[in-house]
């Protein structure tokens, strides 16, 4: 270590000399990062390049470059009889060497044993607890044809108010003999704020009903809806949930539905890139549920190749 | 063991009595010497007020730590009562409004001071050799400090807190490849729920403060080891003089007050 001692006027920082290898490391790291986006192969290649050049760089810094071989020393002049065969210098495993390896090894094993379960507990359960039950939204008669209804329900009543979600539901009339619904999630496709319907909300017509599972469902009709908009960063959508303006990267998510005993049952939600047409005859470009802000179509979809279970 | 001591003035005697506990501590731990070393270490003669910004940041952090511990005595990290408990602290608990206010405003003060401190280090060129590592530790502290802000913001569990966190988590979710997994881990599931609040609470009050304290320890160790830099306009060369050299050698087991041996062992 070099010491900084201004009083002695001797100020020689221990700075590394010039070296070309960092360029290789930089290329490798860049390759690795690009690979993260494109393909695991490129990650491996980038990682390899960085390791190789990183090693060369370190060997440069250490003052023992790999490339430069020391000039071969002349063979020692041997005169007289060959030296007696050397006795081995003591045991290869010393007591202290063994003890330090044992301490490190045992410490490592104990450390792993006690730290793996907590880390597991912190990281894995979020990917396991995925039981979304269908929600009973009540009798079909609550949803007049062509009318948007703000519908609020509990995803998991046992969790309380924090699981309250809102969907915008419109009955489109029958399609091939089956009732057709448009059920749009209020989760903004930008970063998840609650989008609001642009229309005349009629709070005095609010209805609250209890359905089969003890779920409490609230409905509020909205007149003359011209689309949806988000309070957070101004994302705007049309009545089919297509993005019309602002930062959202795709259309609004929707819910699957089914009809049981004359009740509307809310199923799983899914993501939508865009919707062609409108109402019962709409063609929905449907994708697996994806987090807000993530592209599901276009070239940007390569950023999100794998989705955790939703 | 009554032993004749050399006569001394009353003042000296009182001083010796008052400092006896410190002597006792010093003899057994060396801690007093360590603190004195820390407090009376040499710094360049032309250091200036901007160099107190680090200590100001440290003070702000300590205020956060203390007020945070007290708030935790009244706060409940449960979705159905978190907001109520915050209201209780603000409206009912004696001086609760003050402690909560200190913690809330202090959070911004802490972050702002960190940036000011970082700006002074940058503008003074104090990040250069041999202090690069301390800059890196500083960057980690900055990141952890901002994470404190992010996790703490959710705890009041009001509309602002909830939606700001929704946006924050989803923002993390847009990171390439690991983004969606990161947001699931932050949420503690695929949807925001009771686990999210508990998780943020634990990270906010246990994980991050512990990490920050450890890093502050390292940060200060390096500050002491390397000394602080003179301002860039200083006429003197940068860097710490090696102070041990010009100090006379310390007699072993020297008391703080006077090197008089106790217990009668006459010199
Ligand atoms: C928790 C936050 C922090 C605390 C408590 C803290 C504390 C301190 C203190 C007390 C000093 C010595 C006095 C001074 O120079 O002000 C110092 C020096 C230093 N800090 Fe920080 N700091 C923090 C964050 C940062 C950040 C964010 C950076 C930069 C990224 C940084 C980089 C440095 C450097 C390079 C020095 C050495 C300056 C010199 O020797 O002149 N610190 N810090
Ligand atoms: S969250 Fe809706 S526009 Fe940003």
In order along chain A (310 residues), what is the average pLDDT of each group of 10 residues?
47 71 93 85 93 89 68 59 59 85 95 92 83 84 92 86 91 88 95 95 90 82 93 94 95 94 91 90 91 91 84
Residue B229 has pLDDT above 60, yes or no: yes
B79 to A162: CB separation less than 8 angstroms, yes or no:
yes
Query: A50-78 b/e with 16+ CB inside 10 Å = b?
Result: beebbebbebbeeeeeeeeeeeeeeeeee
Structure tokens at B72: 């935790």
Q: Cβ distance A270 to A289 under 8 Å?
A: yes
**Whole-model pTM?**
0.78
Separation CA B17–CA B6 (nearest Å): 15
Total Cβ atoms within 10 A of residue A148: 24
Ligand 1 pocket, residues with Cβ under 6 angstroms: B 51, 53-55, 57-58, 61, 114, 117-118, 121, 126-127, 131, 134-135, 138-139, 141-142, 145, 212, 216, 219, 223, 228-229
Cβ of residue A190 lying under 6 Å from some atom of ligand 2: yes
Quickly state the pLDDT bin for B265 (edges 50, 70, 90).
very low
Task: Give the closest residue to A169 by CA, choosing from A207, A113, A215.
Answer: A207
Give yes or no for B179 touching A (CB within 8 A). Answer: yes
Quickly state the pLDDT bin for B92 (edges 50, 70, 90).
very high
Q: Find the mean pLDDT for residues B260-266.
A: 44
Residue B58 has pLDDT above 90, yes or no: yes
Does residue B90 lie within any of the structural domains?
yes
Angle B50-A3-A62 from CA coordinates, rounded to 5°: 115
- Across the interface, of B129, B170, B193, the residue whose CB is closest to A159 is B193
ipTM beyond cut 0.90: no
Number of domains in chain B: 1
Q: Which residue has the tokens 């301002």?
A: B231
DSSP state of A211: -
Residue B253 has a pLDDT of: 42
Q: What is the CA radius of gyration of chain A?
A: 34
- Using a CB-CB cut-off of 8 Å, the residues of chain B touching A7 are 241
Task: Give the closest residue to B71 by CA, choosing from B51, B98, B49, B48.
Answer: B98
Does residue B160 lie within any of the structural domains?
yes
Ligand 2 pocket mutation pick from A195, A232, A244, A291 by most atoms within 8 angstroms of CB: A232
Task: Give the closest residue to A215 by CA, choosing from A168, A146, A160, A269.
Answer: A160
Q: Which chain B residue has its CA at the smallest distance from A301's CA?
A: B176
Residue B189 has a pLDDT of: 87
Q: Which residue has the tokens 């890196």?
A: B136
A304 to B195: CB separation less than 8 angstroms, yes or no:
no
Q: Cβ distance B158 to B207 under 8 Å?
A: no
Dihedral sign, CA of B42, B48, B54, B55?
positive
Length of chain B, please? Answer: 267
Residue B260 has a pLDDT of: 43
Structure tokens at B51: 């160099």
**Residue B216, domain CATH:** 1.20.810.10
Contacts 24+ apart (CB under 8 A), A236-241: A237/A195, A239/A148, A239/A170, A239/A278, A240/A182, A240/A275, A240/A277, A240/A278, A240/A282, A241/A184, A241/A272, A241/A275
Does residue B260 lie within any of the structural domains?
no
For chain A, which domains are there?
Answer: 135-295 (2.102.10.10)
Does residue B76 lie within any of the structural domains?
yes
Q: Domain limits at B140?
A: 49-226
Q: Which pLDDT tens digit goes with each residue over B203-228?
A: 999 999 999 999 999 999 999 999 89
Residue B104 has pLDDT above 80, yes or no: yes
Does residue B203 lie within any of the structural domains?
yes
Residue B242 has a pLDDT of: 46
Q: Which pLDDT tens digit goes with each residue over B116-168?
A: 999 999 999 999 988 999 999 999 999 999 999 999 999 999 999 999 999 99
- Using a CB-CB cut-off of 8 Å, the residues of chain B touching A13 are 129-130
Q: Find the mean pLDDT for residues B237-262.
A: 46
Residue B230 has a pLDDT of: 86
Query: B150-165 b/e with 16+ CB inside 10 Å = b?
Result: bbbbbbbbeeebbbbb
Structure tokens at B252: 């072993």
DSSP state of A9: T
Dihedral sign, CA of A275, A276, A278, A281?
negative
Does residue B258 lie within any of the structural domains?
no
Separation CA B69–CA A119 (nearest Å): 25
Cβ of residue A250 lying under 6 Å from some atom of ligand 2: no
Residue B241 has pLDDT above 70, yes or no: no
Quickly state the pLDDT bin for B43 (edges 50, 70, 90).
confident
Structure tokens at A258: 């089914």
Residue B247 has pLDDT above 80, yes or no: no
Dihedral pair phi/psi, residue B143, rounded to 5°: -65, -45
Does residue B220 lie within any of the structural domains?
yes
Percentage of chain B with pLDDT > 90?
Answer: 66
Residue A85 has a pLDDT of: 59
Does residue B19 lie within any of the structural domains?
no
Structure tokens at A196: 């609001």
Total Cβ atoms within 10 A of residue A272: 24
Look at residue B179 and give its three-state secondary structure. helix
B79 to A160: CB separation less than 8 angstroms, yes or no:
yes
């Amino acid at each position: 270590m070099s010491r900084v001692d201004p009083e002695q006027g001797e100020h020689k920082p221990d700075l590394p000399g010039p070296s070309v290898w960092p360029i290789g490391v930089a290329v490798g790291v860049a390759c690795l990062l690009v690979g993260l986006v494109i393909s695991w192969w490129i990650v491996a290649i980038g990682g390899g390049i960085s390791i190789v050049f990183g090693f060369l760089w370190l060997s440069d810094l250490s003052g023992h470059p790999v490339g430069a071989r020391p000039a071969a020393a002349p063979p020692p002049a041997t005169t007289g009889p060959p030296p007696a065969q050397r006795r081995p210098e003591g045991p290869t495993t010393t007591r202290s060497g063994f003890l330090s390896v044992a301490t490190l090894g045992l410490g490592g094993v104990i450390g792993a044993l006690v730290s793996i379960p907590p880390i597991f507990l912190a990281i894995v359960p979020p990917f396991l607890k995925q039981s979304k039950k269908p929600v009973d939204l009540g009798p079909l008669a609550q949803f007049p044809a062509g009318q948007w209804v703000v519908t609020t329900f509990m995803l998991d009543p046992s969790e309380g108010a924090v699981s309250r979600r809102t969907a915008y539901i419109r009955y489109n009339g029958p399609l091939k003999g089956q009732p057709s619904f448009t059920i749009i999630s209020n989760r903004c496709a930008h970063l998840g704020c609650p989008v609001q319907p642009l229309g005349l909300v009629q709070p005095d017509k609010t209805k609250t009903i209890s359905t089969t599972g003890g779920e409490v469902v609230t409905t509020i009709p909205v007149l003359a809806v011209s689309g949806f908009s988000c309070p957070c960063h101004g994302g705007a959508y049309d009545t089919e949930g297509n993005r019309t303006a602002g930062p959202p990267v795709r259309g609004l998510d929707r819910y699957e539905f089914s009809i049981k005993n004359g009740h509307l049952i809310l199923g799983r939600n899914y993501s939508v890139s865009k919707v062609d047409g409108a109402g019962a005859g709409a063609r929905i470009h449907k994708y697996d549920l994806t987090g807000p802000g993530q592209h599901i179509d276009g070239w940007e979809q390569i950023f999100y190749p794998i989705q955790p279970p939703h | 063991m009554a032993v004749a001591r050399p006569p001394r003035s009353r003042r000296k005697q009182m001083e010796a009595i008052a400092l006896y506990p410190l002597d006792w501590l010093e003899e057994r731990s060396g801690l007093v010497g360590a603190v004195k070393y820390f407090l009376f270490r040499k710094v360049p003669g032309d250091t200036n007020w901007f160099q107190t910004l680090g200590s100001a940041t440290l003070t702000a952090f300590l205020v956060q730590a203390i007020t945070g511990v007290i708030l935790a005595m009244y706060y409940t990290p449960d979705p159905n009562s978190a907001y109520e408990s915050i209201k209780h602290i603000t409206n009912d608990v004696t001086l609760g409004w003050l402690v909560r206010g200190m913690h809330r405003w202090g959070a911004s003060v802490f972050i702002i001071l960190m940036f000011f401190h970082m700006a002074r280090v940058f503008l003074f060129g104090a990040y250069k050799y041999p202090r690069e590592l301390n800059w890196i530790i500083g960057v980690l502290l900055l990141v952890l400090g901002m994470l404190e802000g992010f996790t703490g913001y959710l705890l009041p569990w009001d509309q602002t807190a909830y939606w700001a966190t929704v946006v924050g988590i989803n923002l993390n979710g847009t990171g390439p490849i690991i983004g969606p997994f990161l947001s699931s881990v932050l949420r503690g599931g695929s949807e925001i729920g009771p686990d999210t609040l508990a998780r943020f609470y634990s990270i906010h009050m246990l994980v991050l403060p512990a990490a920050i304290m450890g890093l502050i320890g390292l940060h200060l160790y390096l500050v002491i080891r390397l000394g602080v830099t003179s301002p860039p306009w200083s006429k003197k060369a940068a860097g710490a003089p090696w102070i041990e050299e010009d100090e006379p050698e310390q007699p072993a087991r020297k008391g703080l007050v006077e090197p008089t041996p106790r217990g009668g062992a006459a010199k």
